[in-house]
Structure 1
Amino acid sequence: MVSAYDADPVFQANPAQLGHLLNRIHLGNLAIPDFQRDFTWEPRRTKMLLQSMMSRFPAGTFLFWSVGPENNMFGSRPVAGVQEGKESPQEFVLDGQQRLTSLYRALNAIGDERFFLVVDEFAVLPSKENPTGALRDQVNFDKAILWHPVGSRDEKALNTRSARIERGILALEEYRVFDEWLDDYAETRDGAHRKAIKVLLRDFRDQYLAPLKSYGFPVVTLPSNTRIEAVATVFETLNNTGKPLGVFELLTARFYPNDIRLRDWYESALEDHPILEEFGVDAYSILQAITLRASGSAQRADVLSKLKAEDVRDHWDVVVRGFARVLEFLQNECGVVTPKILPYGMLLVPMAAVWEEVAQAKGPEQVNILARLKQFFWCTVFMTNYDQGANSQAGADYGKLRLWLFDPAAQAPEAITDFFLSAATLRAATTRRKALYSGMLALTVMNGARDFHKGVKLTPERVKSDKIDSHHVFPKAFLASGSSALSAELALNRALIDSATNKAIGAKAPSQYFGALRETLGERELVEILSSHLLDADSDDDPFRKDDYDGFIDRRLADVITAVELATGKKVSTEVELQ
């Protein structure tokens, strides 16, 4: 009886010699799927790989994907440097493209560099004092393996075998005809030592050149029916340097035969709507919003398995426009003037998915719809609903949002029906609570926050031009020498302050730097500017005059609570929470 542990293996693992793999690459039955990125390795990395193999050290495993009816919709291309193969791909290279490509090019003298081996660095050649010679105990591979750009003076100097032999150098691709090279090499050496040279350098061949043919790489092969979401996970796990490959790359390849050029479409979207690039809207988020419109889900598995070419074609422009308009709405109506204070990137997905219908409403109806959309945004931010399970939350929200926005009698999204926020949570939130922290800053902008330096309202343009950013109200350095037990990194201790004012603040006590501002601006103007940032200073005993950090936090909390309640239309709980 076969146990559950023995049945139906997820993948096959077999050793494969390098020579066999390179021959398969040459024939074309081992190919690169179109969703893979291009070859990028620098020559030094190829040199390090050759060193590991010639030293018989481990050089990693390869991961292949069998080609079958389930995945033959993906396009493929030969390894870089290979002419069009004679055979159709039987397997795709999922992990190992850079190593296989670099080895194929180096061992076949293809590409931009040519590699060489300095024989003297591997062996002490026979001489009168040492008639037999010997392989070196330690090889200095920095000197033993050379590479030169094709067409360079150094490469041209080694262009002929005679020139190489004169300098005791073997072109790497000559490993296949080493015995022929050795005969020519021995003929140029002292006749008394020719036999010993051949014996020694055959040992060199067996020790260091044999792995270039017979090095065994463990190869793991996934069956062709491996689910596409599993392949995406592989990429996100293995491709941990640079930008990881993922769902967008896979779908780019899948839809290519349908004349859908996702990469080109995405680049055009960024050109047409610069705000997308400014806020870092990636192509995958656009696909998630399209999948929401098409099938009501933003889960990765559903983006991979349910999204169809016709869905992308039908919804791409609508969704791209939706992202741009939602971001403009958040900038103008919700105070999100900079990407740094966007509470959740994922929150854009359901809002962009529903925007086309919002835009079609007219007059007072649209005003009411936008008011509900704004309430949804603020309630979601302060409920912190997207801190976990954001994909699932986006799907659930979209399903209700697209009905409730147009029919208030319909069930509202969870953030509105189940809204709960306590004063204690707001008071304790540090800058690590991204949604609460960003939400508070955005609230101040919506409240009319003004530039400390010039007294004008903050706009996206002014935030950029005046280098306005989030800074401490009570400087961290000042608090370090004080007696308050409260953290300097509380979200309530942050405000959007221009660089000139922040530089002037330095580590000064609030009483000192606000005193200087009071002399420059006047009492009334200063109070109004501070009030615009939800900073209450309209009294003789305000915390700034007394450098009272705890009192400042309490006052600001009260102002922020009022602003949160106005934005969400919900009450913030002030009940003492049980420990």
Structure 2
Amino acid sequence: MTSAYESDPIFQTNPLQVLNIVTRIQNREIALPDFQRDFVWDSARTAELLGSIMSRYPVGTLLFWEQGDGQPFASRSFDGAPNTSNNQPSVLVLDGQQRLTSLYQALTGSGDERYFIKVDEFVDVHSQSVREVPDVDFEKAIFSMPAVAKNGRRSQQLTPSHLPISEVHKFDDWLDDYADATGDDPQVPLTARQAKSLYREMRDKYISPLKTYGLPVLTLPSSTSMDAVCTIFETLNRTGKPLGPFELLTARFFPQGVNLRDLWDEAESNHRALKEFRIDPYNVLQAICLRVRGTAQRSDVLKRLTGDDIKHHWKSVTAGFAGVIDMIQSDCGVTSQKWLPYGMLLTPMAAVWDKQKNLKPLEKSQAIRRLQQFFWSSIFTTNYDQGANSQMGADYSRLASWITTGEGDAPEAIDELHINAATLRTATVRRKALYSGLICLLVKNKAADFHTGQSMTSTRAHEAESHHIFPKAFLTKRQEPESAELMLNRSIIDGETNRIISSNAPSVYVEKMKSAYGDQRLHDVLASHAIASQTSSGLLRDDYSRFLDERLEIVIQLIEEATGKQIQREAAR
């Protein structure tokens, strides 16, 4: 029986010498996947890396991915390396691009900077000894200069003691000349023979690592799945620019004549809403996969989607996202991406958007209404809080036929609206979908400005914020047991109005509103915010619990109107 410790390793691990890696990069045996970001390190970080290697300090592990014969993956050379595109690399670098590019450019004299070592910083000629690592000022000992200096002049004068790092392999030849010059210098208490001995000791301690330092390398086998590679990238790049399925598929489809980056740039140019709502281009690929494969799972997007699928569906799906965004902005009160309850909810809707385009006018309006009903029902069922990829697949399979005819199985959220009054009564602003859904309902209900009584324009609604109706400071002073952060205590109120409200009791600031524009307009303004306005209402009596109960009933009515479903009201508290 084979124990877990004797089984085949998931990956190979072994050190590779710097010089070996540089040579393989030069020959394009080691390359970058096309989805890798550009080289961004500055000269200071490169000099710091060189100092760490010369000190024999750890500089982190590299992650390589072996490439098989039939790997349909676009790759590119390192910055500064020959672009011999006919050579297929044997490995791609998944993690370590910045470090390897820095080392390659420094050791080959390529790139925008040239790096030098001040060899005298590593020795003490008076004691004829090589300095220990803590005694070397590496910030001074390693420096760089632009490869092409302005007006042909260098900002720093080079001397014989400045060894180009790109010529460390010629160190012994350099030393012969430098030792002879040192021996003839009366200011240096060394003979040529003593200088050679001292600097050879310095070479073995500090120069040799630039060629022989073993960089630890983990190598994934060529059989590693795209899904696994994607997961690794997301893990490695949590604190940086994310590299996910879209970047992987960009590289995969490039050899098939499909440039996803160009397609996305064009889509954002044609549909401004994609950028305004921060649509992830990967969601477009998911929508296409829903159409052609009936699934939005990442493994299926990575494995089953083809270049032909992209060519056939890209334009109509991106137009679908734009169409859905226009609909929810115009008819559902979603003024900006900030108030979009679920970004993932747009994906199945965009995938089916084409279904209503060729319908007759009356049928088309009914299809749009069904899409809106699905939008609201999904929000208040909170179906997309978890398992969004699976939910998209389940919803798409029913949406595609249901929105055009209203027959057959409706999406789950339509048939089973599980939300009840108790959930709405106790929901805080941390329930993002419910909270955002409420704000959108109020915008759809044409919530008017508290201060002026004027209807909010789309621009003003976009700029307005959510603020407390019963001020938090007022409730704290009253020691109100119920949380001030209940979503029912929020409405869309501009900053100026919120400052006027301040910590005043509702009865105080409502009286100011009444004086400003009268009883009838006051009633209309409060009604537009789903707030009861009769004289005995909780708002006018500064009764927070009563206010919440009254507003709950009005909000429920708005939800029922939007979803077409009745909400259970028992035991709201």
Same fold? TM cut 0.5? yes
Report the Cα distance in structure 2 between the residues aligned to 1:35 and 1:432, rounded to whole angstroms.
36
Deviation at 1:334, TM superposition (A): 1.3
Relative to 1, partners in 2 of residues 1:154 and 1:201: Cα closer, same or farther, differing over 3 Å? farther
Q: Which residue of 1 aligns with 2:7?
A: 7
Residue by residue over 1:157-210, the C-alpha shift from the partner in whole angstroms, topping out at 9 and shown as x without a partner, is: 4888xx422xx3322223211222222222222455133332222222111111
Identity %: 48
CA deviations on 1:319-368 (whole Å, 9 max, x unpaired) are 11111111111112211122111110000000010010122211222222
1:119 deviates by: 2.7
Q: 1:255 aligns with which of 250, 253, 256?
A: 253
Larger mean Cα displacement after TM superposition, 479-488 or 349-358 = 479-488
Contact 2:116 2:164 in 1 (8 A): yes
Deviation, 1:459, is 4.1
Q: Is 1:174 matched up with 2:167?
A: yes
- 1:117-158, Cα deviation, whole Å (9 max, x unpaired): 2233322223xxx3x244145222222222233334799448
Partner letter of residue 498 of structure 1? D
Deviations 1:239-287 (A, max 9, x none): 2343211111111122222222211111111111111111111211111
Call closer, same or farther: CA 1:174–1:155 in 2, change over 3 Å.
Answer: farther
Contact persistence 1:158–1:164 (CA under 8 A): no
Which of these residues, 545, 553, 560, is aligned with residue 550 of structure 1?
Answer: 545
Contact 2:443 2:461 survives alignment (8 Å): no
1:566 lines up with 2:564 in the alignment: no
Q: Give distance in 2, aligned partners of 1:59 and 1:497.
A: 53
Cα distance in 1 between the residues matched to 2:202 and 2:173: 15
Secondary structure of 1:193's match? coil
Taking the aligned partners of 1:180 and 1:514, their CA distance within structure 2 comes to 89
Query: SS at the partner of 2:223?
Result: coil
What does residue 20 of structure 2 align with? Answer: 20
Q: Which position in structure 2 is the counterpart of 1:576?
A: 571
CA gap of 1:55–1:511, structure 2 versus 1, over 3 A, is farther
- Residue in structure 1 matched with residue 524 of structure 2 by the alignment: 528
Match for residue 474 of structure 1? 470
- The 1:476/1:149 distance shift into structure 2, 3 A limit, reads farther
Alignment equivalent of 1:206, drawn from 204, 207, 219: 204
State the SS of the aligned residue for 2:333. Answer: coil
Q: Residues 82-121 of structure 1 correspond to what in structure 2 (within 5 A)?
A: 82-85=81-84, 87-121=87-121
Q: What's the TM-score, normalizing by structure 1? A: 0.93
- Is 1:496 the equivalent of 2:492? yes
Conserved 8 A contact 1:31-1:77: yes
Q: How many residues align?
A: 566
Tell me the secondary structure at the aligned position of residue 544 of structure 1.
Answer: coil
Spell out, residue by residue over 1:76-112, the C-alpha distance to the aligned partner (whole angstroms, 9 max, x if none).
1111101134843111111111110111001222111
Distance, in Å, in 2 between the alignment partners of 1:448 and 1:384 is 24
The normalised TM-score by structure 2 is 0.94
| Long gaps (5+) in structure 2 | none
RMSD of the alignment, in Å? 2.2
Q: Structure 1 residues 93, 550: closer, same or farther in 2, change over 3 A?
A: same
Contact 2:233/2:243 (<8 A) preserved: yes
CA contact (8 A) 1:148 1:154 kept: no
CA distance in 1, matches of 2:43, 2:502: 48
Q: How does 1:436-451 map to 2 (within 5 A)?
A: 436-451=434-449
Q: Which amino acid aligns with 1:483?
A: Q
Partner of residue 187 from structure 1, selected from 180, 204, 213: 180
Listed one character per residue, the Cα deviations across residues 270-309 of structure 1 (whole Å, up to 9, x for unaligned) are: 1111111111112111110010001100111111111111
| Equivalent of 1:222 in 220, 223, 239 | 220
Greater CA drift, 85-94 or 254-263: 85-94
Change in 2 beyond 3 A, CA 1:576/1:546: closer
- Correspondence for 2:61: 61
Deviation, 1:36, is 1.5
Secondary structure of the residue aligned to 2:40 is: coil
> Structure 1 unaligned runs (5+)?
none
Instruction: Report what 2:391 is aligned to.
Output: 393
> 8 Å contact 1:114–1:155 — kept in the other structure?
no
State the secondary structure of the residue aligned to 2:135.
Answer: coil
Distance 1:62 1:155, change over 3 A: farther
Match of 1:484 among 480, 484, 494: 480
Between 377-386 and 3-12, the greater mean CA deviation after superposition: 3-12
Partners of 2:504 and 2:53 in 1: CA distance = 61
Return closer, same or farther for 1:416/1:115 CA change in 2, 3 Å cut-off.
Answer: same
Q: Distance in 1 between matches of 2:109 and 2:239?
A: 27
